[in-house]
Amino acid sequence: MRPTILGVVGWAILAAGLSACMTRSPRSSLPPAPIALKRPDVREWHGDRFVDDYGWLRQKTNPVVIAHLEAENAYTEAWMKPTEALQETLYKEMVGRIQETDYTVPYRKGPWLYYTRTQQGNQYPVHCRKPASGSGSEEMLLDLNELAKDEKYLSVGSFEVSDDARLLAYTIDTVGFRQYRLAVKDLATGRTFGPTAERVTSVRWASDHRTLFFTTEDPVTKRSSTLYRQTLDGPAEAIYTEPDERFSLRLDRTRSGRFVVLYVGSRTTTELRLLEASTPTGSWRTVAPREANHEYDLDHRGDTFFIWSNKSGRNFALYTAPVDQPEPAHWNLILPHRSDTMIESVLCFEDHYVVHQRVQGLARFQVSRYDGGNSHAISFADATYTASPEANAEFHSNRFRYSYASPVTPRSVFDHDMNSAKDELLKREAVLGGFDPANYVVDRLHAKARDGTLVPISLLRRKDTPKDGSSPMLQMGYGAYGIPSDAGFNSTVFSLVDRGMSYAIAHIRGGGDLGKTWHDGGRMAQKMNSFTDFIDVAQFLVDEGYTDTDRLVITGGSAGGLLMGAVTNLRPDLFKAVVTYVPFVDVINTMLDESLPLTVEEFEEWGNPKVAAEYAWLRQYCPYTNLEPKAYPSILVKTALNDSQVMYWEPAKYVARLRALKTDINPLLLKVNMAAGHGGSSGRYDYLKERALDYAFILDQVGLAK
């Protein structure tokens, strides 16, 4: 049904009226929250009947839909108006902790040092380089502030310099829909070619300095599906299209630079194809043909590939294979599978290789020589932390660069001398405003889940925060795709912690925190474990006196937003408030629509609801489907109009249905960023303003909005 003009105008008047009303009225006199029209649509699957009243909110170009979203924004703005002074205080605190004019640690690639720098007042960084010799001035490669001057959003995807350091291939998205355009810049002349292609997902140069490989996405499903080859003086040529809709394409180069690698992968299966970078028109070779539930990856040195594979165990083992015979029949085991250790990646250098591991949930690096000598570990003593490889662009180097952070240790970049086994701290990010790590306590706890599994918890609090149930807490969770929720440093969270809140990360099943089996324990038929783990962690923290139910706020985004919706349905009494970002809450409807981005690719994460048994899994926890008349906590839902991963209508429908069903008087707010995508605002100051609003809501709910 198309809207009448009166209907559109009516919504617009409501949106304007809400804002105007709140400028002169306290919350007690707020007008009613926006009520979405009901247009029933019946869904029947496997004998299950569900009436969906709000499917019409999918009509993004319908002015009634836009007016409804704007009315929701106006209502949220009105409800949050009493916290405006607090929001400004929080924003100034957050800005006051960062070094606004700063630079990243330069990394070497060939004769150049590459880095980015930021300038006070600018939203975006500037990409630069300077000669590694020390003589010569800085070259500005790409000024994102200049590219963004007429845009409301800007994101850089690929950033690849050719082997001769003359050409820069880069991609940008100016909408937020993860829809990147490719351009090539001649760094000698400053001339930019392009955009030369649309919907580009990955980019790599051949070693002839003139041939570019790139992958593109399907215009409807956004699956990365086609590989192109292009020279600067010729048209792009499609050389491969992947037919299986579960699989996506991604390009890389081995660290040696010798091979271009095409990753053909699903959520559970990998197939790698290799091309000599020096012969861009040559033939691609398959390392190991795709086999269900077999994932692998590789790096290269000399006449040998180093391949890590989960064929013999879920947490991966490490093999070598000859370059001229990379098939599994020729793999030689050098590091066996271990149940308590996950191999994350392997980096090959000229004389050493580094195995990035996760041991009992915590990162570690094992450094080894090819000749068998001087093998040693880089390990860390803190209770909880994160560590990962940094830019290691030089193959002929004895230095391995990595970053380290903990909840009280700002991001720190080290160079590790692989011969002497000594670390050199290159830079630790400055935290201004009087930050002192000695004021805080970081603990790694374990809660016993209902099936007896021990679930890790990373906990940050001030030393003077009491443990008598009186302290408020923010508990965060994710638990999907095998992605770990590592405990790094977040300067913004101290605006909560310094006001007496504790901050906890629940490392629940479904994530990769304890390896591949941890992921398996929270996906497909086992997905309910993610939700019950989170609930059991919350109950443990309450029982142990770290907080209480009337002071516990929970948060999560995307798949973590699904977590928020599910646990709020299951135990609404356990939480005071919820802040959920771009939440994947309309699970069944989305997974039934194979035209949407990610749907088919994610059948191996969630299940296919067209299969009766798998529908039953989803039906058990789908947040939107399982809403019912009862009391819910206070809830702030954040989304973005141009989100391509979780479409805006999922949270919009969720809020509309919840508002019609809930029996409490707690606030239910929807904030829609009308000019961004999945990650919210792209500018660093705009991002902090968004966090200030979220934190003001949280502090208001726990009685700390002063």
pLDDT digits (tens, 9 = 90+) for 401-456: 999 999 999 999 999 999 999 999 999 999 999 999 999 999 999 999 999 999 99
What is the CA angle 458-461-466, rounded to 5?
120
Same domain, 653 and 597: yes
Q: Quick check: is 558 catalytic?
A: yes
* pLDDT number for residue 6: 28
First to last CA, the chain: 47
Q: Quick check: is 678 catalytic?
A: yes
* Res. 13: pLDDT tops 70: no
Which of 139, 173, 188 is the last residue in one of the domains? Answer: 188
Query: Reduced to 3 states, what is the DSSP secondary structure of residue 383?
Result: coil
* pLDDT number for residue 7: 37
Same domain, 120 and 181: yes
pLDDT digits (tens, 9 = 90+) for 680-700: 999 999 999 999 999 999 999
Its domain, for residue 614, covers 86-95+434-701
Domain membership of residue 563 (yes or no) is yes
* pLDDT number for residue 350: 97
pLDDT digits (tens, 9 = 90+) for 69-109: 999 999 999 999 999 999 999 999 999 999 999 999 999 99
Same domain, 143 and 90: no
Domain membership of residue 422 (yes or no) is no
Burial letters 671-699, b for 16+ CB under 10 A, else e: bbbebbbbbbbbbeebbbbbbbbbbbbbb
User: Which two three-digit tokens encode residue 446?
Assistant: 């374990």
pLDDT band at 3 (very low <50, low <70, confident <90, very high): very low
Domain membership of residue 627 (yes or no) is yes
pLDDT digits (tens, 9 = 90+) for 611-645: 999 999 999 999 999 999 999 999 999 999 999 99
* Res. 17: pLDDT tops 80: no
pLDDT digits (tens, 9 = 90+) for 23-56: 333 477 788 899 999 999 999 999 999 999 999 9
pLDDT digits (tens, 9 = 90+) for 378-392: 989 899 999 999 999
Which of 127, 157, 188 is the last residue in one of the domains? Answer: 188
In 3D space, the residue among 251, 73, 201, 35 whose CA is nearest the CA of residue 637 turns out to be 73
Which of 147, 171, 188 is the last residue in one of the domains? Answer: 188
Domain membership of residue 2 (yes or no) is no
| Residue of 678, 681, 694, 700 marked catalytic | 678
| Residue of 162, 368, 471, 558 marked catalytic | 558
Same domain, 666 and 589: yes
Q: What is the CATH number of the domain that holds 557?
A: 3.40.50.1820
| Residue of 415, 643, 694, 700 marked catalytic | 643
User: Which two three-digit tokens encode residue 614?
Assistant: 């798998």
Name the DSSP letter for residue 677.
B
pLDDT digits (tens, 9 = 90+) for 650-671: 999 999 999 999 999 999 999 9
With 0.85 as the threshold, say if the pTM is over it.
Answer: yes
Burial letters 426-437, b for 16+ CB under 10 A, else e: eeebebeeeeee
Q: Quick check: is 46 catalytic?
A: no
* Res. 160: pLDDT tops 90: yes
Place of tokens 């948060």: 555
Number of domains in the chain: 2
Domain membership of residue 615 (yes or no) is yes
Domain membership of residue 535 (yes or no) is yes
* pLDDT number for residue 23: 34
* pLDDT number for residue 135: 87
Reported for 539-545, long-range contacts at CB under 8 A and 24+ positions apart, including other chains, are 539/447, 539/574, 540/445, 540/447, 540/448, 540/457, 541/447, 541/457, 541/473, 541/475, 541/504, 542/469, 542/574, 544/467, 545/467, 545/468, 545/469
CA atoms of 105 and 406, how far apart (whole Å): 19
The mean per-residue pLDDT over the stretch 107-128 comes to: 97
Domain membership of residue 229 (yes or no) is no
Same domain, 91 and 139: no
pLDDT band at 706 (very low <50, low <70, confident <90, very high): confident
* pLDDT number for residue 15: 38
Same domain, 518 and 603: yes
| Residue 389 backbone dihedrals phi, psi, to 5 degrees | -60, 145
pLDDT band at 194 (very low <50, low <70, confident <90, very high): confident
pLDDT digits (tens, 9 = 90+) for 298-335: 999 999 999 999 999 999 999 999 999 999 999 999 99
Same domain, 116 and 90: no
* pLDDT number for residue 11: 34
Domain membership of residue 23 (yes or no) is no
CA quadruple 632, 634, 638, 641: dihedral, nearest 10: 60
* pLDDT number for residue 234: 87
* pLDDT number for residue 18: 37
* pLDDT number for residue 639: 98
Q: What's the chain's average pLDDT?
A: 94
% residues pLDDT > 90 (the chain): 93
The mean per-residue pLDDT over the stretch 604-615 comes to: 98
User: Which two three-digit tokens encode residue 45?
Assistant: 């699957």
The mean per-residue pLDDT over the stretch 456-468 comes to: 97
